[in-house]
């Protein structure tokens, strides 16, 4: 270590002192443990506090990432996913302009996306330096992924990955004042799977009082079908030839477990469903469906919410590997799969065709599923919280061919990290600086003041559109499509039932059915995964 590193800022955490580094006028602390390594006796169990340490611990490099399979080649050309080896993967990073008590700066806690199977806090696009530069203490978190974090077993508590996030949030609430943050002004934010996690946490009774406001980017509060998650575990167990228990899985070689998870999950698709890991109602941390709890106003009352989507979310799910063209060729078969996925009657796709007469099947399918997964539930959430909800749409198209304004594209603009090579993988080179400055400034305002700079949600459905040209308000830009779901034959989404705290055998869970030809299509193309 260079001598200059020994002169970096030192901050005391609840478990010991850490030394960071000054970078471009910002103090950065990386790889701080907030819980013990989740292996050995702690594997598949809720997180426990880390062992305290004596002296000063260097916090100069990103800590180990949670075990995860790599992205397929088709997705790796667009998405960065660094791997840092080691067991101490329950760690976080802090960027602050003013370490030390007394500053009382607003705090942003970031939960990364990656379908709950990939991603980490060390993705360069999530560099918190720009938030710290603008007076916000930024914290990014690693948490358990895949079967380690979201497998459903009869002999272990559910949702250990979500419990990791809760432990990190508690750490931040307790420790952030020493880094210059204000524990009473914490904003919990995430994208995709990270936003789904945010939704679960702001609805969780155990998380109340740990945050002040929340950001949900391209992810809505939801509870996954328990049988869908259990099918992932059972299929893995069948391939491994072991019982579908946490005890048996803990005895399997870690690399073999990851390979098996990747093989079983390759058909999981946001567009057409399939077995996948997700947050489930567990009767404890998640006692009821999070969306239902939040719509009823039973949690986070008065908390400001910033939420939205990208115009062409589905293109990241369909463009890599040429799946978009294959869905277009399948035509009616793919449309039937999307109707099953969304539990929609024939009136819905007919209405989309009328509104988009020049659209191909892939666009119809993609927008239907996007509305089902994201826009409908976020509209419900905003309708339940008028005056304190702010909604946006990101509509700037990527400079990479075919991607449009796809899923995850807004991240480089929110973090103002578009000049990184990792951001350019998805956005292309020379992205518009004015758009990045406007979007990043809106997030800073929301974290700081609770208002991003446009009117809150109300009867006129104002949506701030970030696209080509100046950001502007559009009133009800998705209302025509979403009204189709109220037509006769369009079934509403049923909330997940409450269950006992310890996961038992699933009873009465509905399976999502998919036409066999669609499943074969996904198998040939290598599948598509939500970021």
Q: Which residues are catalytic?
A: 192, 313, 407
Strand, coil or helix: 4: helix
The first and second tokens of residue 334, run together, are: 């793919």
Q: How many CA atoms lie within 13 A of 453 on its CB side?
A: 16
Instruction: Report in angstroms the alpha-carbon separations of 123 from 62, 86, 109.
Output: 10, 17, 15
The first and second tokens of residue 251, run together, are: 């005895």
Euclidean distance between the first and final Cα of the chain, in Å?
Answer: 35
Label residue 110 exposed, middle or buried (CB < 10 Å: 0-12, 13-18, 19+): buried
The three-state DSSP-derived secondary structure of 283-309 is: CCCCCCCHHHHHHCCCCCCCCEEEEEE
Cα–Cα dist 74/185, whole Å: 40
Which residues face 107 on adjacent strands? 137, 186
Cα–Cα dist 348/489, whole Å: 8
Tokens 């696009």 found at: 125
For residue 291, which phi and psi values (nearest 5 degrees)? -65, -45
Would you state the torsion angle of the CA atoms of residues 421, 427, 431, 435, taken in this order, to the nearest 10 degrees? -120
DSSP letter string, 462-507: EEEEESSSS-EEEESTTHHHHHGGGSTT-PPPPPPPP--SB-----
The three-state DSSP-derived secondary structure of 350-372 is: HHHHHHCCCCCHHHHHHHHHHHH
């Amino acid at each position: 270590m260079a001598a200059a590193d020994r002169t970096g800022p030192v901050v005391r955490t609840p478990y010991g002192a850490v030394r960071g580094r000054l970078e471009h006028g910002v103090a950065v602390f990386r790889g701080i443990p907030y819980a013990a390594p989740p292996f050995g006796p702690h594997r598949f169990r809720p997180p426990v506090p880390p062992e305290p340490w004596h002296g000063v611990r260097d916090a100069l490099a990103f800590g180990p990432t949670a075990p995860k399979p790599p992205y397929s080649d088709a997705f790796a050309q667009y998405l960065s996913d660094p791997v840092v080896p080691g067991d101490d993967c329950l760690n976080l990073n802090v960027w602050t302009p003013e370490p030390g008590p007394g500053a009382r700066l607003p705090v942003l806690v970031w939960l990364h996306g990656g379908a709950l199977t990939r991603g980490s806090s060390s993705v360069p696009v999530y560099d918190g330096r720009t938030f710290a530069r603008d007076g916000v203490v930024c914290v990014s978190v690693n948490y358990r992924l895949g079967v380690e974090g979201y497998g459903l077993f009869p002999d272990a508590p559910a949702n250990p990955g979500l419990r990791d996030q809760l432990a990190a949030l508690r750490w931040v609430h307790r420790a952030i004042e020493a880094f210059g943050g204000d524990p009473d002004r914490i904003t919990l934010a995430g994208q995709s799977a990270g936003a789904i996690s945010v939704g679960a946490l702001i609805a969780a009774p155990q998380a109340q009082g740990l945050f002040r406001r929340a950001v949900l980017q391209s992810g809505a509060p939801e509870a996954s079908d328990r049988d869908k998650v259990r099918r992932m575990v059972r299929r893995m167990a069948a391939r491994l030839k072991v019982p579908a228990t946490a005890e048996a899985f803990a005895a399997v070689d870690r690399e073999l477990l990851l390979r098996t998870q990747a093989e079983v999950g390759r058909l999981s698709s946001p567009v057409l469903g399939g077995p996948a890991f997700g947050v489930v109602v567990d009767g404890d941390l998640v006692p009821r469906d999070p969306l239902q709890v939040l719509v009823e106003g039973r949690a986070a009352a008065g908390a400001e919410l910033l939420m939205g989507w990208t115009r062409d979310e589905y293109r990241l799910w369909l463009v890599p590997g040429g799946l978009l063209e294959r869905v277009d060729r399948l035509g009616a078969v793919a449309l039937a799969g999307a109707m099953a996925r969304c539990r929609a009657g024939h009136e819905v796709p007919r209405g989309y065709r009328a509104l988009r007469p020049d659209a191909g099947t892939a666009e119809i399918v993609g927008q239907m599923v996007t509305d089902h997964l994201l826009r409908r539930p976020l509209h419900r959430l905003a309708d339940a919280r008028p005056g304190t909800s702010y909604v946006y749409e990101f509509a700037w198209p990527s400079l990479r061919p075919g991607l449009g304004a796809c899923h995850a594209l807004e991240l480089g603009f929110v973090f103002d990290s578009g000049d990184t090579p990792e951001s350019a993988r998805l956005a292309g080179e020379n992205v518009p600086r004015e758009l990045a400055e406007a979007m990043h400034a809106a997030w800073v305002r929301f974290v700081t003041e609770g208002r991003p700079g446009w009117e809150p949600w109300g009867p006129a459905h104002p949506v701030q559109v970030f696209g080509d040209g100046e950001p502007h308000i559009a009133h009800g830009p998705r209302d025509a499509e979403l009204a189709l779901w109220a037509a006769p034959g369009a079934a509403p989404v049923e909330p997940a039932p409450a269950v006992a705290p310890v996961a038992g055998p699933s009873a009465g869970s509905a399976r999502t059915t998919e036409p066999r030809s669609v499943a074969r299509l996904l198998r040939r193309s290598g599948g598509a995964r939500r970021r």
